[in-house]
Amino acid sequence: MMQKCPGQDDRNLKVETIRCPDCGHKLEIFSDEVKVGCPKCKNLVCRERLPSCVDWCKHARECIGEDKWRELKGFHPEKDLKDIFG
């Protein structure tokens, strides 16, 4: 496990474009943000789900460990093998 999460370094932030559900205006939201205000209609736009470092941080696997990373990414060996091999 790491001492400090490298994903918390501002240099690792990613930007995403989402649309305001009220007016359709394109908004930029950063990977560490949960909500952003629309400058056009002043609506508060929230992500559909909360961001997780496991989703966007390239260091997540190293930071939290392989087993926890696989669990949070939704990898279930028994289920996944059954789906593949029937």
State the Cα–Cα distance between residues 41 and 24, nearest whole angstrom.
Answer: 10
Find, among 16, 5, 10, 7, the residue nearest to 57 by Cα: 7
13-67 pLDDT tens trace: 788 899 999 999 999 998 778 789 999 999 999 877 666 778 778 888 888 888 8
Rounded to the nearest 5°, which phi and psi values hold at 53?
-60, -25
CA distances from 57 to 4, 33, 34, 46, 54 (A): 13, 14, 16, 20, 6
User: 79 falls in which pLDDT band (50, 70, 90)?
Assistant: low
pLDDT attached to residue 84: 47
Higher pLDDT among residues 38 and 72, named by residue: 38
Model pTM score? 0.47
Domain spans of the chain, in order of start = 15-51, 53-86
State the Cα–Cα distance between residues 68 and 61, nearest whole angstrom.
Answer: 8
Structure tokens at 71: 């669990």
pLDDT attached to residue 28: 94
